[in-house]
Amino acid sequence: MNKETPSLSGFYKLNQGERWNRLATVFDLSAEEIGLLKRDGALPHELTDLFIENAVGNFPMPLGLVTNVLVNGEEFAVPFAVEESSVIAASSNASKWVKQSGGFTATCLGSLMIGQIQILDIAPEKMEELADKILASKELLLQRANETHPRLVKRGGGARNIEVRSFPHAEIPFMVVHVHLDTQEAMGANLVNTVCERLAPEIESLVGGRAGLRILSNYADQRLFRAHCKVNPELLALNEPDRKLSGAEVAKRIVEAYVFAKYDPYRATTHNKGIMNGVDPLVIATGNDWRAIEAGVHTYAAREGRYQSLSRWWIDEEGMLNGEVTLPLQFGTVGGVTRLHPVSQLSLRILREPTVKTLSQIACCTGLASNLAALRALVTTGIQAGHMKLHAKNLALGAGARGKEIELVAGEMVKAKDVSATHAERLLEFFRNSSIIDAPVQQSLS
């Protein structure tokens, strides 16, 4: 797919075979690569046994594509590995509103990972003096760090800075040395940890203390990415037969909902979960560490001393709805599972082999899109309306429906506004007893 041609228009209307054919055509995928999708993500035991201990099998995750994601003028189809109904549809719809309004803009605010070296057995009254001593040796320490990874330095990465923090009033007083590293296309955990191990003896010699923990921090506040969008409020208007809301009113309500999340941590937690609905599935699809990213993102949400919204929404002087989100993201496109898992490789192919910066910017945009979709639903029809339409199919399947029965049972549940396991079972029994699987549903059912 190129920058000019949104080649996946109407993708959701295609059947499974048609979707595979479209993917092969748009992304120039081989029969072998399409075969990975037909295997439903199953891995050979050799790989599974390599990834984890005591391997007994695989746990497949649904893989789909978020469409209409226009980032800095370039359009992407974004692979999502996710089990929750409506996440992909919601992100695609919101991305379409943004695309029709000009698209997302995204930037990289910093690209450094942090390594921490804890220093113990230091008298609190000497910490300030010793911190100065460490900083006076910064250039030597950076040189030693870069000697650890000469190939990283050759690729343009390496150690960039040294910082010192002191905790003289802790129950066990300690200092901590931060090493900032540009890990280029790697997430960087192993690179950072190796540097920390290498520098620990040097710092011990400098200050006379004892090195404790030597490990990266997953609070990547030096590796930040930001996404921004403007949305024409007219695209957000609610025009249902029994209820109508102008786009301007919907935009106003979205801003009100954001303010709720800004000040109330109970709301902010769910609000931010909605943002991560648009981030985690991409992290998983590309074989990255979603646990590390979740930990860092939620710490960032509390950086001002209380937990609050990660996104910000406002209406500008022209009446356009503006949204912005800033996230600390620890993606990698090389190393680990990312380069070994065949479906992760395929996901990167569909994204046209992005750099870490591009991949992170895309994640920010899909996170913002997910947030927009959730807020728009919450302030109009309520979150359940769209979610339950998709959830109805799950209930129908759980009740034992197969083939055409699934659509019939799910459709009737939504029509009757009774989406429940009990109703699904009753409907399925009715259809089977009446032998009208291919006939119109009787009006009396609703």
Task: Give residue-wise pLDDT tens across range 244-302.
Answer: 999 999 999 999 999 999 999 999 999 999 999 999 999 999 999 999 999 999 999 99
Q: What share of the chain is helix, strand, coil (3-state, %, to 5)?
A: 50, 20, 30
Q: How confident is the model at residue 164 (pLDDT cuts 50, 70, 90)?
A: very high
CA distance 168 to 83: 47
The more confidently predicted of residues 75 and 438 is 75
CB 237 within 8 A of CB 250: yes
User: Quick one: pLDDT band at residue 440, thresholds 50, 70, 90?
Assistant: very low
Output 440 or 411, whichever has higher pLDDT: 411
Q: What is the per-residue pLDDT across 41-100, written as a single tens digit (0 to 9) for each?
A: 678 888 899 999 999 998 989 999 999 999 999 999 999 999 998 999 999 999 999 999
Choosing from 84, 249, 264, 294, the catalytic residue is: 84
* 318-330 residue pLDDT tens: 999 999 999 999 9
Tell me which of 185, 289, 405, 412 is the catalytic residue: 289
The average confidence (pLDDT) of the chain is: 92
Percent of the residues in the chain that have a pLDDT greater than 90, as a whole number: 76
Q: 441 pLDDT band (50/70/90 cuts)?
A: very low
How do beta strands 311-315 and 210-217 pair?
Answer: unpaired
**What is the model's pLDDT at position 125?**
97
**Mind listing the domains of the chain with CATH numbers?**
11-105+227-381 (3.90.770.10), 112-217 (3.30.70.420), 385-445 (1.10.8)
Closest CA to 374 of 99, 105, 102, 91: 91
Q: Is the pLDDT of residue 179 over 60?
A: yes
Identify whether 391 is a catalytic site residue: no
Q: Is 273 a catalytic residue?
A: yes
Catalytic residue at 84?
A: yes
Which pTM value belongs to this model? Answer: 0.89
Q: Give the up-direction half-sphere exposure of residue 380: CA atoms within 13 A in the CB hemisphere.
A: 25
Average pLDDT over residues 429-439: 72
Among residues 180, 387, 391, 423, which one is catalytic?
387
Whether 289 sits among the annotated catalytic residues: the reply is yes
Between 442 and 325, the more confident residue is 325
The catalytic residue among 96, 273, 298, 389 is 273
DSSP 8-state symbol, 356: H
